Structure 1
Amino acid sequence: MKLIGIEEHYLTADVRDAWDAIGLAATDPSVTLHSGEIERRLLDLAGERVALMDEAGLDVQVLSLTTPALHDLGPESIELARRANDAVAMAIARWPDRFQALATLPVSRPDEAAQELERCVRTLGFKGAMLSGRVGDRNLDHPDFFPIFERAEALKVPVLLHPRTPAMAVRDAYYSGFTPKVDAVFAMFGLGWHYDAGIQFLRLVLAGTFDRLPGLQVILGHWGEVVLFYAERLKAMDRVSELEQPITTYLRRNLYVTASGMFLPGYLAQAAAIVGTDRLLFSTDFPYQYRPGGDARRFLADCGLNEADTSAFAHGNWLRLTQAGNAVV
């Protein structure tokens, strides 16, 4: 059974140097995670990555630039995005059966970001885009970013909302008071990342984005970034939201959910109950959650779905989601 991981990350030296040039590590501790073995695997878009895919049992990686991507950069992000996307396109050309990609966008320049998304889909054959949360003090539902989502809907490609570290004020209020290391991890992969990504999705819902763009499809990792498991409570906002549909409709019409290497059948079952088995996607969150020894295949075999739903989870749902936007095969 073909196994496609749709949230698998990379980094380029250009982007890493751009983060260093603005001293981003001082305000976003996730930058410091990209060092040593993790950094080496992120930078590799060749044979060693493929060998590790084979070891895990993964047939295809859908490549996306790791967090915080280009969200903190200014006009220079336009050329950085183009170079990153071209580098990934070259890797896909070398390994066309093993790699696909989500576009990296210069999100601080939304009009140029929409143009780059179109280039990546129409010319390079990418499958969608990835965004990493807020841009400066603007959340993704800010009107400035509407052209990006509008273009994604027009191109019929999904947008993966990836976690990023919460703003400093949020970290000070909720994720501080321990050792610096504990504070940082608590605000990142301990919990903060995931609430941040889930809240970005909910903000898009509450802002009416999916009423204006009913065909827009968004992906959340880590089984829905925490908030998905509060769907029952989210329904209470229907009384005041003034949206065209109940919130549960957007969860089942506009949202896909992926594993991000959290290989837990109970989480899968809960996510399936909320969004449906036709909206489950596989991913390993390489290289952060990489575990050798055929771990991906082992989870697929034991995930608790029937054969048809397992096949859909492994690859079928992704192929159906992305086939409409495929201008290049």
Structure 2
Amino acid sequence: MKLIGIEEHFLTAEVRQAWAAIGLEASDPSVAVHSGTIEKRLIDLAEDRLALMDESGLDVQVLSLTTPALHDLGPQAVDVARRVNDAVAQAVARHPDRFQALATLPVAMPDEAALELERCVRTLGFKGTMLCGRVGTRNLDHPDLQPIFRCADSLKAPILLHPRTPEAAVRTAYYSGLSPQVDAAFSTYGLGWHYDAGVQFLRLVLAGTFDRMPGLQLILGHWGELVLFYAERLAAMDGVAGLAEPIATYLRRNLYVTASGMFLPHFLDRAVAIVGADRLLFSTDFPYQYRPGRDARRFLEACGLDEAAKAGFAHGNWLRLIRDCPAEGG
């Protein structure tokens, strides 16, 4: 059974240098995670990556630039994004049966970002884009950022909403005072990343994004970034949100969820209960959750879904989601 991982990350030396040039590590502790073996695996888009895919049992990776991507860069991100996307398109062309790609966008320049998304989907054959939460001080529901969402909606291109580190004031209030090492982990991969991504998705819902664009499709990793586990409490806002539909409708109509290497059957069961089996996507969160020994394949085989739902989880749901992307190339 073909196994496609839709949240699999990369990094380029140019982006790493751009982060360093603006001193990003001082304000975003996640930058320090991208070093050593992790950095080596992120940068490689050739044989070593393919060998690790084979070892885990993954047939295809959908490549996306790792967090925080270009969210903290200014106008220079326009040219950086084009170079990143062109480089990844070349990697896909070298291994078209093993790689697909999500667009890297200069999100601080929303109009330019929309144009780059259209180029990536129509010309390079990319399958959507990935956003990493806030853009400067702007949450994703900010009116300035709407051109990106309108473009994705018009292209029928899904948006993977990836975590990023909460802003400094939030980290100070909730994730500090333990030790520097624990504070950094707590505010990023321990918990802070995931609350931040879930909050960004809910802000898009509550701002009426999916009333204006009912066909827009978002993806949350890590089994829904905590959102699915509070669906009953979220429903309590239906009376005050002023939305066209109950919040539960947007969870089943506009949201896909993926595993991100958290191979936990009871989380899968919760996702099926809230969004439905036809909205499950597979991913390993390479290289962060990488574990050897055909771990990905083993989880698929033992996940408890029937054969039709298992095939959907493995590849069918993703292929259905992207079938209307209007690729002219790649």
- When normalised by structure 1's length, the TM-score is 0.99
**Residue matched to 2:73:** 73
Residue identity in the other structure for 1:105: L
Residue identity in the other structure for 2:199: I
**Residue matched to 2:205:** 205
Task: Name the CA distance, whole Å, in 2 between partners of 1:159 and 1:186.
Answer: 26
Question: Match of 2:322, SS?
Answer: helix
Task: Name the CA distance, whole Å, in 2 between partners of 1:179 and 1:95.
Answer: 44
Structure-to-structure mapping, 1:30-179, within 5 angstroms: 30-179=30-179
Q: In the alignment, does 2:300 pair up with 1:314?
A: no
Shift of 1:326: 4.1
Residue identity in the other structure for 1:39: E
Task: Name the CA distance, whole Å, in 2 between partners of 1:3 and 1:228.
Answer: 24
Percent identity of paired positions between Structure 1 and Structure 2: 76
**Residue matched to 1:20:** 20
Deviations 1:189-232 (A, max 9, x none): 10000000000000000000000010100000000001221000
Q: In the alignment, does 2:263 pair up with 1:289?
A: no
Contact 1:206/1:243 (<8 A) preserved:
yes
Task: Name the CA distance, whole Å, in 1 between partners of 2:286 and 2:40.
Answer: 12
Question: Match of 1:49, SS?
Answer: helix
Gaps of 5+ in 1: none
Task: Name the CA distance, whole Å, in 2 between partners of 1:308 and 1:214.
Answer: 27
**Residue matched to 1:300:** 300
Question: Match of 1:64, SS?
Answer: strand
Deviations 1:59-93 (A, max 9, x none): 00000000000000000000010000001000001
Gaps of 5+ in 2: none
Q: In the alignment, does 2:12 pair up with 1:5?
A: no
**Residue matched to 1:244:** 244
Shift of 1:126: 0.2
Deviations 1:26-48 (A, max 9, x none): 00000000000000000001111
**Residue matched to 1:188:** 188
Contact 1:198/1:228 (<8 A) preserved:
no
Residue identity in the other structure for 1:299: F
Residue identity in the other structure for 2:142: H
Contact 2:228/2:270 (<8 A) preserved:
no
Structure 1 outlier segments of 4+, above 4 Å: none
Task: Name the CA distance, whole Å, in 2 between partners of 1:218 and 1:212.
Answer: 14
Task: Name the CA distance, whole Å, in 2 between partners of 1:277 and 1:70.
Answer: 33
Task: Name the CA distance, whole Å, in 1 between partners of 2:272 and 2:286.
Answer: 23
Shift of 1:174: 0.5
Task: Name the CA distance, whole Å, in 2 between partners of 1:137 and 1:228.
Answer: 26
Residue identity in the other structure for 1:14: E
RMSD: 0.6
- When normalised by structure 2's length, the TM-score is 0.99
Task: Name the CA distance, whole Å, in 2 between partners of 1:265 and 1:231.
Answer: 19
Question: Match of 1:323, SS?
Answer: coil
Contact 2:132/2:161 (<8 A) preserved:
yes
Deviations 1:126-172 (A, max 9, x none): 00000000011100000011110000010001000000000000000
Task: Name the CA distance, whole Å, in 1 between partners of 2:46 and 2:60.
Answer: 13
Residue identity in the other structure for 2:131: L
Task: Name the CA distance, whole Å, in 2 between partners of 1:124 and 1:291.
Answer: 31
Task: Name the CA distance, whole Å, in 2 between partners of 1:88 and 1:132.
Answer: 18
Task: Name the CA distance, whole Å, in 2 between partners of 1:131 and 1:81.
Answer: 13
Shift of 1:314: 0.1
Shift of 1:177: 1.1
**Residue matched to 1:263:** 263
Provide the aligned length of Structure 1 versus Structure 2.
329
Residue identity in the other structure for 1:207: A
Task: Name the CA distance, whole Å, in 1 between partners of 2:272 and 2:126.
Answer: 27
